[in-house]
Structure 1
Amino acid sequence: MSEVEDKYTRETITSMRVWVPGKLFSFTCTRPTGFRFTAGQFARLGVDNTLQLPGEPEIIWRAYSMVSGPFDEHLEFFSIVVPEGAFTSHLSQLQVGSPVYIDKTNFGFLTTARFETGKDLWLLGSGTGLAPFLSILHDPHTWEQFENIVLVHSARTAEELVYQEMIKGFVEHPMLSELIENVEKRFVYVPVVTREKVPNCLGERITTLLEQGTLVEHTGLPMNVERSRFMICGNPEMVTDIRKVLKSKGYSPARRNTQGEIAVENYW
């Protein structure tokens, strides 16, 4: 068995979408046969080092959370363009039909399995940290596990509030509406823009919104240890700051052998 057959598969990009030129884009690719994952996990993606960057291997690898749901026929990923970044410099130049490599193993523990109890799920993300939460929202099990779900996505500018159609479409999703009752009453989307004033968007950092009780007031849902479960994904500073705020309010990390209310993923 070759290394490719043993450790990873060669897939094909089937669509590309630029959200913010030179900054944000997403793409879909074929899904490897037998590739399974839990909503919220990430995959290792590989691209050919066609630019022959010094110090980089023939295939450059990075971790990316799936946007797509566990039962989708394709895989979808959301990426930021890192200036002079070895991986995204290649990835952003790929086109439909270009190859991409997928490690056969899935990774990560940002899944709802971290929580054994709780009624309200708060998904707190910034930037491309939105990706795993979209996958989690695609999974019917999430809606069966929790009574209410709140998606809070923070971006610097309005144009960075991506995937609007998908987010608004969850309440109309045919599979969800068929399996789950009152989806439209159980889901709240809270867009946050911090660098400019935008109608119908909150304007403070998520930490401030938590500290001042703005999210509770805005959603009408209480926050307490019995009901509330939090998943956090974004840049390390954002994740650290939110964890500190939540810990100060009495919430604790959910670990493998310890029940808690907080699950996190640092997104780079």
Structure 2
Amino acid sequence: MNMECLLPDTIPDSPAFHTVAVTTVRHWNDHLFSFSVERPGSFRFRSGEFVMLGLPQDGGKPLLRAYSIASPAWADELDFLSIKVPGGPLTSRLKSVRPGDQLYLGRKPTGTLVADALLGGKRLFLLSTGTGLAPFLSIARDPEIYSRFEQVVVVHSVRRVSDLAYHDQQTALWADDPLIHEEAAVQFYYVPTVTREPFHTTERIGTLVENGGLFPNTLDGPRRFDPEQDRIMLCGSMAMIRETSAMLEKLGFVEGSNSRPGTYVIERAFVD
């Protein structure tokens, strides 16, 4: 048995963190999993923010990593999506969590992938690769988003079909959502793409922008990005973020922040 992967049933209390219990775990494939934890009564966050999660380690501070919250701000539980990093100090242990196990949860969520960092517009595009989908699962279930934008488009680019976490649940999640199901039925669009296996869409995000495949046929407006009406969030690989940010800047988009809203935004905390 791999002792490195064993997790304690309980962990020491820490004044700097909440101690929360895992409620559910799902392994999508051999390198991708999601899990939920109970939400402390005092824990508040804006949809799209991230928080520190971690476990104790011998003789030192807790081992922590930043994780985007995948559940909406009104949810009773906190959802997270994670890769399994071979030899990763935290994920080599975290991948073995089971319901009832305890984790440390930071007390102060933060981030720039929030509605406050964007100016108003008509169409909101949420462009993600891999686990970068997580904050957009939160944002796309936020009632405020559907009052601020006429149409919301989630784009998720992955290498393998099995990496499309929540692919089969996307429609059900929104259709059964108690707060936004009526709005999402007419305002929400989901564009998955797989780059290394056969799938109905196989181009990378940049190519989909160029050939118009990123814009569903029933979407109002032009089949291109328009800085006058479009607002864009980016989360995922550094290559995608750098390439897409450069393209947006050339088109006249301006990066936003909490203190100065703009027409597109990235999560600076995750960018080298």
Distance 2:83 2:108 in 1: 23
Partner Cα distance (2:64, 2:261) in 1: 33
Decide whether the 8 Å contact of 2:118 with 2:257 is kept in 1: no
2-structure distance, mates of 1:137, 1:166: 13
Code of the residue aligned with 1:96 in structure 2: it is: P
CA distance in 2, matches of 1:11, 1:171: 27
Equivalent pair of 1:137/1:170 in contact (CA under 8 Å): no
- Note the C-alpha offset of 1:146: 0.7
User: Could you tell me which residue of structure 1 aligns to residue 210 of structure 2?
Assistant: 211
- Distance across 1 between alignment mates of 2:18 and 2:251: 45
- Give the corresponding residue for 1:158: 161
Render the CA deviation track for 1:180-214: whole Å, top value 9, x for unaligned. Answer: 54x31211100010112213xx2111012123333
Paired residues for 1:1-268 under 5 Å: 4=13, 6-21=15-30, 23-49=31-57, 57-177=60-180, 180-181=182-183, 183-199=184-200, 202-216=201-215, 218=217, 220-221=219-220, 222=222, 223-265=225-267, 267=270
**Larger helix share, 1 or 2:** 1
Corresponding letter in the other structure for 2:187: R
Q: Go from structure 1 to structure 2 and tell me whether the alpha carbon gap of 1:174 and 1:68 turns closer, same or farther (over 3 Å shift).
A: closer
SS of the residue aligned with 1:105? coil
Task: Indicate if the aligned counterparts of 1:41 and 1:65 stay in contact, CA closer than 8 A.
Answer: yes
Local SS of the residue matching 1:93: coil
Corresponding residue SS for 2:119? coil
Secondary structure of the residue aligned to 1:252 is coil
1 CA distance for matches of 2:218 and 2:247? 19
Q: Give the letter for the 2:76 counterpart.
A: E
Distance of aligned partners of 1:24 and 1:254 in 2 relative to their CA distance in 1, 3 Å threshold: same
TM superposition shift of 1:78: 0.5
Relative to 1, partners in 2 of residues 1:123 and 1:167: Cα closer, same or farther, differing over 3 Å? same
1 CA distance for matches of 2:108 and 2:260?
Answer: 25
Residue 4 of structure 1: how far off its partner (Å) = 4.5
Partner secondary structure for residue 106 of structure 1: coil
- Across the aligned residues of Structure 1 and Structure 2, the Cα RMSD in angstroms comes to 2.1
Contact 2:112 2:258 in 1 (8 A): no
State the Cα distance separating 1:217 from its structure 2 match: 6.1
Length, aligned pairs only = 256
Once the two structures are superposed, residues 40-99 of structure 1 have per-residue CA deviations (whole angstroms, 9 ceiling, x without a partner) of 0001001133xx5xxx94521000011111111111110000110101011012221111
Identity rate of aligned residues, in percent?
36
Q: 1:255 offset after TM fit, Å?
A: 3.1
Secondary structure at 1:242 match in 2: helix
> Aligned partners of 1:47, 1:76: CA distance in 2, in Å?
17
Structure 1 residue 6: Cα displacement: 3.0
Give the ranges of 4+ consecutive aligned residues of structure 1 lying more than 4 Å apart after TM superposition: none
Q: Quote the offset at 1:177 in angstroms.
A: 4.6
8 Å contact from structure 2 (residues 55, 63) kept in 1: yes
- Equivalent pair of 1:211/1:245 in contact (CA under 8 Å): no
Superposed CA deviations along residues 205-239 of structure 1, whole A, max 9, x for unmatched, are: 10121233332365544231121000000021211
Gaps of 5+ in 2: 1-11
Contact 2:70–2:137 (CA under 8 A) maintained in structure 1: yes
Tell me how far 1:169 sits from its aligned partner.
Answer: 2.1
1:144-164 alpha-carbon deviations (Å, 9 max, x no partner): 111000010000011111112
